[in-house]
Structure 1
Amino acid sequence: MSSTPVPIAIVGIGKIARDQHIPTIAADPNFRLAAVVTRNHPVEGVPAFATITDMATAMPEVKAISICTPPRGRLDLVREAIAAGLDIMLEKPPAATIGEAEAIAEAAAASDVVLHATWHSREAAAVEPALAWLADRTIRNVAIAWKEDVRVWHPGQEWIWESGIGVFDPGINALSVLTRLIGDTVLLETAALRFPSNRTAPIAADLTLSAGAIPIEVAFDFDQRGPQTWDIVIETDGGTLTLSAGASKMAVDGTPVPVADDPEYARLYRRFHHLVTTRTSDVDFSPFRLVADAFMLGRRETVDAFDWAS
C-alpha cells in the first residue's frame, strides 16, 4: 500500500464506471479519483474535462487513467494518454478489433507507460483456487453456460449492438476465465452465431473449442430471463470442478469449496497498483482472439428482432 494515493482519472462515465470503477476507487487507499473525462456525464465533486489532453494540461498531478468507454476509438485515447505520460487501465474488451488492440499494445510498449488490459472475471474469487486445484489433475472436458439478460446489464445501451460485440460482451468474460485456467492453447473449432433480424451483433452463440485433446463446449445467451447463469464445469481425472456465479463460487463433485469474499474490481485495482509500482504491463489478448475467430468462422443464423421493451 502506498502512503500517497495515486491520482487517477476515469475516461467515459457510463454504467460500468458508476457501478464498479468509481466506488472501487473510493474504497481503495492506493488511488484517488482526481478527474473524469466525459462530455455528457459529470461526477459530482470531481473536475470534468472534454479530452485527456485538456485534463492532463490542467491537472499534471494525475498519473493514471482508467478507460471505460465503449471499445471503438480506444487507440486514439491510448495514444493521447501516452503522449501525456499516463499509465493506463483498459476496461474489457480492449478495443474494437484485434488490429487496434495490437496497435494499442505496441504503442504502450514503445513508451514508458504501464498498460493493464483487464479481464475482470479473471479476478473472480474462485479463479485462482480453481487454478491451484487443477494443477495436478488432467482435464477431460469443459462445458460453459454464460447466459444473462442484456436489458438488466446494459439497459438501453445501443453500443452493445455494434458489430463485433453483442453476446460476446459478457461471453468474453467466460473466455477470459477459461484461458486463465487452461492457457492460451485454446482454439476455436466451430461457431454458430444467432443475430436478431434488426441488429448487427449476435444475441446468442454456441462455440466448440479445444485445447489439445480437451473438448470445450460453450453456450452464450444475451436474452436469459429470470435467474442468470454464469457456470463453468470442468471434468477431470480427479473429480468435477464447478465454477458458478461468474466464477465467484467453487464446488468439487457438488460440494462447495470456501473461497475469499473479494470483489473483482477491488482485486483489479490492486493488480493495477502493483503494475504501476513495479512499472510492468499486463497485456493478454487471448480471450479477444477467440471472439474474433468466432466471427471469422461462425455460421450466421437470423432470429426474431430484438426490442428493449419486449
Structure 2
Amino acid sequence: MAPIRVAIVGLGKIARDQHLGAIEATDGIELVAVASRHAKLDDIACFHEIGDLLASDVKFDAVSLCTPPVGRFEQAKAALDAGKHVMLEKPPGATLSEVYALEKLAKAKGVSLFSTWHSRAAAAVEPARALLAKRKIRSVAVEWKEDVRHWHPGQAWIWEPGGLGVFDPGINALSIVTRILPESFHLTRSELTFPANRAAPIAASLSFETDSGVPVSAEFDWRQTGPQTWDIRAETDEGPIVLTHGGSRLFVDGKSAIVEEDREYRNLYRDFVTLVAESRSDADFSPLVHVADAFMLGRRIQTDVFED
C-alpha cells in the first residue's frame, strides 16, 4: 500500500517535539503539508490555515491536528467533510458534544478518526493492564505533578476556558487508568484549585470509585519544580503494581519489570497507519468524560496569582 500522505495542522511545540520525528520514523506514512499561522517547514508545502490547505492542489489523505482543543472542532469537521482521515492530539476536543459529533461524521464519511492518548502508548501500560486483570485490586492512587513553566512556556491558551489547565497533563493519567483497570469507575469528589488570575485550574484533587467499590484517588499539580512525578500505584492482593515516568516504567511487587525509552508517538502513528488500512476508527473519549465530570462536580478553591 502506498504511504499515507499526512498534513499537520498546528506546527507548535508538541508537533515539533513529537509529531515530526514520529512521522519520519514510521513506515507507511509521510508528511506532505503543514497548515500553521505562525510557522513553516522547509521543503514542505505550507499554508496559513486548514481551509487554504483543503482548497489547494496538494494531494493528501489524512490530517493530524496538533492545535489547541478550542477551535479544533471546525478544523476536524472540515477535514472529515473533505473525506480525509483525522488524527486528534489529546485532548480530542474542548467539549464532549463536539467530539461525539466528529465520531458520527467520520462514520458517515467512511474515514478513520483516531482520538490519540499518547500516554496509553507507553511501554508499561499494556503489561500493567494484563497483570491487573489477574489480580484483586484494593486501591489505586495517581500522582501526576509537573512544572507548567517548563512544559508550556508562554502558552496562554491552556489557562483559558477549554484549555483544561492542569487537566492537560492530568488527562494523560486518566487515559492510562481508564485503559489498565478491568472495570469502569466514576467520580465521587472533586476539588479544583484556581489561581486568582486564571480561568483554568492549576491543581486538582479527585476521588473515584469503581463499579465494585475500589477507591481510586488522583492528585494533579502544575506547580512542581525539579524532578517531575508521573506515577500510578495499584495495591493488589499479591503486591503493588506501579507505573512511573508516565507509563514507561513498571515495577511489580517492588521489582523493576520494564524500563523503556519514549516511543509513544511512534506507536501512535503506527496505529494510525493500521486504522486507515483497515478502515477503522479508534475514538475512546472516556478520559475526557472524567475531566468533564471533575469540572461539573468540582469545588472551587482560589490560590495565589500565577504568572509565567
TM norm structure 2: 0.96
Indicate whether 1:186 and 2:185 are aligned.
yes
Q: Is the 8 A contact 2:27 2:270 kept in 1?
A: no
CA distance in 1, matches of 2:196, 2:262: 40
Counterpart of 2:217? 217
CA distance in 2, matches of 1:173, 1:253: 24
Post-superposition Cα deviations, 1:270-309, rounded to whole Å, max 9, x if no partner, equal: 111110000000011110010000000110000001011x
CA distance in 1, matches of 2:10, 2:210: 36
Counterpart of 1:31? 29
Counterpart of 1:121? 119
Give every structure 1 segment of 4 or more consecutive aligned residues whose post-TM-superposition deviation is greater than 6 Å: none
Identity of aligned residues (%): 51
Question: What are the within-5 Å matches in structure 2 for residues 143-154 of structure 1?
Answer: 143-154=141-152
Counterpart of 2:202? 203
Counterpart of 1:255? 255
For the residue of structure 2 that corresponds to 1:16, the secondary structure is helix
CA distance in 1, matches of 2:117, 2:182: 14
Counterpart of 2:277? 277
Post-superposition Cα deviations, 1:47-85, rounded to whole Å, max 9, x if no partner, equal: 111233432342452001100000011221111101221
For the residue of structure 2 that corresponds to 1:144, the secondary structure is strand
Q: What amino acid is aligned across from residue 162 of structure 1 in structure 2? A: E
CA distance in 2, matches of 1:184, 1:268: 24
Question: Measured at CA, do residues 224 and 240 of structure 1 come closer, stay the same or move farther in structure 2, by a change above 3 Å?
Answer: same
Q: Is the 8 A contact 1:191 1:294 kept in 2?
A: yes
TM norm structure 1: 0.96
Question: What are the within-5 Å matches in structure 2 for residues 71-82 of structure 1?
Answer: 71-82=69-80
CA distance in 2, matches of 1:263, 1:305: 37
Of 12, 17, 20, 2:18 maps to: 20
CA distance in 2, matches of 1:158, 1:51: 20
* Number of aligned residues: 306
User: CA offset at residue 259 of structure 1?
Assistant: 5.1
User: CA offset at residue 37 of structure 1?
Assistant: 0.8
Question: What are the within-5 Å matches in structure 2 for residues 1-310 of structure 1?
Answer: 2=1, 4-164=2-162, 165-182=164-181, 185-212=184-211, 213-258=213-258, 260-261=260-261, 263-308=263-308
Q: Is the 8 A contact 2:238 2:253 kept in 1?
A: no
Which 5+ residue runs of structure 1 have no aligned equivalent? Answer: none
CA distance in 2, matches of 1:53, 1:97: 22
Q: Is the 8 A contact 1:28 1:266 kept in 2?
A: yes
